[in-house]
Amino acid sequence: MIGLTLEGITRRFPAEGPGETTEKTVLQDISLAIEPGAFVTVVGPSGVGKTTLLRIIAGLDHGFQGRVAWSENRQPKIGMVFQEPRLAPWLSVIDNLLLIAAPGARAEALDLLDLVELAGSENALPRQLSGGMQRRAALARALLAKPDLLLLDEPLISLDSTRAERLRSHLVGYWQARKPTIVMVTHDFVEAVELSSRVIALAPESGRIALDRTIPLPHPRRVTDPAEAALLDELRDLARDWPAPSHTTEEGEAAPRASNAAMRLLTI
Ligand SMILES: Nc1ncnc2c1ncn2[C@@H]1O[C@H](COP(=O)(O)OP(=O)(O)O)[C@@H](O)[C@H]1O
Ligand SMILES: [Mg+2]
């Protein structure tokens, strides 16, 4: 298991607009130690720097100040699921998964597609799938690579609530079975409270950490239980001044067919 430490991360971008060149600070002096095997969710209003933070951790952004350090001083294998699923458009879903997988990974790839409720879509081209389905395919691809660190940028956004519920429990099951360290951005406080072992909220304007709570509760969790409900209230209080997020629900997708493949994955 891999842990990481963020030391004084600050990111400034050139601000748009006429006149003098100014800078806008999106992350300011973010210091965090993330334990090996933690499941951290990051919440915050749109534009606060959540995606930027994931990109910095992934090594995709080099314009920041501060430092990202790994436990045991070794570069981990990182799996990232971007907000916009980056599938190769000319490859089928299964070939997108197998593109970077070890030889012989086909059976596991199919199991993972089942886990994300895409069984039966393996031969489809990305453009034949909805945005939410593409994102789930990207999630399966990231899981197939068996990362030490999984960086997820709103992977379950725009799903209907029952499917989101099932995928959340699959994700927790995967995390418990395989023990990757996970940093997941979400706008959904219920998701943060139900899933993660720690929730971090970024504050608008300042770009600093507004809240950092460990959630030592066992799974499955119910947000109606007192400890969960209290944390949810705290997050909602904090978010009172945040601009409302916009979200849509995916339509026109058939219910998944029943299968044991998902369960097989979660009990390895
Ligand atoms: N490459 C970039 N150049 C200029 N501004 C950027 C760049 N990347 C992100 N930003 C700005 O930084 C802010 C934070 O972006 P982002 O990390 O995507 O926020 P979030 O994921 O929290 O919605 C936004 O205002 C965005 O416009
Ligand atoms: Mg973002």
Per-residue model confidence (pLDDT) at position 73: 83
Per-residue model confidence (pLDDT) at position 203: 94
Is residue 110 situated within a structural domain? no
User: What's the CA gap between 131 and 181, in Å, rounded?
Assistant: 26
Q: How many other C-beta atoms can be found within 10 angstroms of the C-beta atom of residue 2? A: 20
Using the CB atoms, write b or e for 41-72: b if 16+ within 10 Å: bbbbbeebbbbbbbbbbbeeeeebebeeeebe
Q: Which of 11, 13, 22, when mutated, tests ligand 1's pocket best, judged by the most ligand atoms within 8 Å of its CB?
A: 13
The atom of ligand 1 lying closest to the CA of 46 is 23
User: What's the CA gap between 216 and 7, in Å, rounded?
Assistant: 24
The atom of ligand 1 lying closest to the CA of 83 is 21
The domain containing residue 50 runs over which residues? 4-77+147-247+255-266
Is residue 86 situated within a structural domain? no
Is residue 14 situated within a structural domain? yes
User: What's the CA gap between 202 and 207, in Å, rounded?
Assistant: 6
Q: How far is CA 120 from the centre of its chain?
A: 24
Residue 48 Cα, ligand 1 centroid: separation in angstroms? 7
Residue 46 Cα, ligand 2 centroid: separation in angstroms? 7
Per-residue model confidence (pLDDT) at position 161: 87
Is residue 140 situated within a structural domain? no
Give every residue of the chain whose pLDDT is below 70, as ranges: 19, 244-268
Which ligand is located closest to the Cα atom of residue 13? 1
The atom of ligand 1 lying closest to the CA of 44 is 22
Is residue 82 situated within a structural domain? no
Query: How distant, in Å, are the alpha carbons of 38, 100, 114, 253 from that of 123?
Result: 34, 17, 13, 16
Q: Whose CA is nearest to atom 10 of ligand 1?
A: 13
For the chain, the straight-line distance linking the first and the last C-alpha, in angstroms and rounded, comes to: 17
Say how many domains are in the chain.
1
Is residue 43 situated within a structural domain? yes
Per-residue model confidence (pLDDT) at position 252: 45
Per-residue model confidence (pLDDT) at position 257: 47
- CATH for 229: 3.40.50.300
User: What's the CA gap between 139 and 263, in Å, rounded?
Assistant: 17
Q: Which of 139, 207, 129, 131 is nearest to 167 (CA)?
A: 139
Residue 166 Cα, ligand 2 centroid: separation in angstroms? 23
User: What's the CA gap between 136 and 151, in Å, rounded?
Assistant: 14
Residue 13 Cα, ligand 2 centroid: separation in angstroms? 15
Residue 48 Cα, ligand 2 centroid: separation in angstroms? 8
Asked if the bond preceding 103 is cis, omega within 30° of 0, the reply is no
Ligand 1 site: residues with CB under 6 angstroms? 13, 26, 44, 46-52
The atom of ligand 1 lying closest to the CA of 185 is 21
User: 106: which 2 tokens?
Assistant: 């086909």
Residue 178 Cα, ligand 1 centroid: separation in angstroms? 32
Q: Whose CA is nearest to atom 13 of ligand 1?
A: 47
Beta bridge partners of 67: 7
Is residue 227 situated within a structural domain? yes
Q: Which of 7, 9, 40, 4 is nearest to 26 (CA)?
A: 9
Q: Whose CA is nearest to atom 6 of ligand 1?
A: 13
Is residue 62 situated within a structural domain? yes
User: What's the CA gap between 187 and 43, in Å, rounded?
Assistant: 6
Task: Report pLDDT digits (tens) over 63-74.
Answer: 999 999 999 888
- Answer yes or no: are the C-beta atoms of 149 and 130 closer than 8 Å: no
